[in-house]
Amino acid sequence: MRRYLNLIRNISNWWTYLADKLGGLHTDPLFFKTRSGVKIEVPRRLLQTFKEIFFDECYMRGLENRVLSSPIILDVGANAGYFSLFAASRFPNARILSFEPIPVNYRMLEQNKNLNPQCDINTFPIAVAGRSGEIKLSFDPNDSFTTSATIYKNNDSRNQELTVSCISIDDIFEEHGIEKCDLLKMDCEGAEYDIIYNCPDTIFPRIDQIAMEVHTGSEPTWNIESMAAFLQGKGYSTRQMPVSILFAWHKNPSLNS
């Protein structure tokens, strides 16, 4: 029931989804519009990703601090841009920096950005990593969109390696003049460990909240419990949610009053 309430609350043409679910539509892509006027193009291939963000509000429901009305938001692993669009819809005065290194995903991200020139969404075709430079990503080039590109090699014969530029969190802050980040959203298929574990201690006090999908890896510290413990050691409180999403926040009573 909550999912459908969020659908109606977030999407002005919510009946489009119901008509499609009942078999009344045969178009691809589908087009939605939020209550605040943000336009969204959703290929059927990405409908589940869209639903997780706009129906389940998966990156919002575990936040503790109130997000300010004009926040700075970093979207790491932006994919087609649905969280960036959600954030722009929920916080119309937000400054959003969206990072997506896979070309086919980035084209969709750019397309959704261009549908909404009124939004301050800044897109970058690069990865975020523990250090700036270049990294190799493993992905399936035959997939029209991918949510599983990773810095870790696997034995899938369909996958190819792609060398991409990358930037660290501290260099993002430096290059874009960010004094404080209100929300860092991360869904980067295992790269979260490299990014967070190598982030300078001086940066953590400047990131108020984190919403992160955590992917279990092969190393002892590549799991959600280790990530939570690490962030707690940097002064955060944490909360684990279903589907391996970890929320972290600094205790700040002024934001919750």
| C-alpha count within 13 angstroms, C-beta hemisphere, residue 218 | 3
pLDDT at 253 over 50: no
Paired with 105 in beta bridges are none
244 falls in which pLDDT band (50, 70, 90)? very high
Render pLDDT for 183-241 as a digit per residue (tens, 0 to 9). Answer: 999 999 899 999 999 999 999 999 999 999 999 998 999 999 999 999 999 999 999 99
Name the pTM for this structure: 0.90
Average model confidence (pLDDT) for the chain? Answer: 91
How confident is the model over 36-77, as pLDDT tens digits? 999 999 999 999 999 999 999 999 999 999 998 899 999 999
Q: Cite the DSSP H helix spans in the chain.
A: 2-10, 15-21, 47-54, 82-90, 103-114, 169-175, 192-197, 224-233, 253-256
- Strand, helix or coil for residue 116: coil
Asked if residue 145 has pLDDT above 70, the reply is no
3-state secondary structure of 53: helix
CA distance 213 to 58: 9
Range 14-29 average pLDDT: 92
Q: What domains sit in the chain, N to C, each tagged with a CATH number?
A: 61-256 (3.40.50.150)
E strands, 24-158, where?
30-33, 39-42, 72-76, 95-99, 120-124, 127-128, 133-139
Average pLDDT on 11-24 reads 94
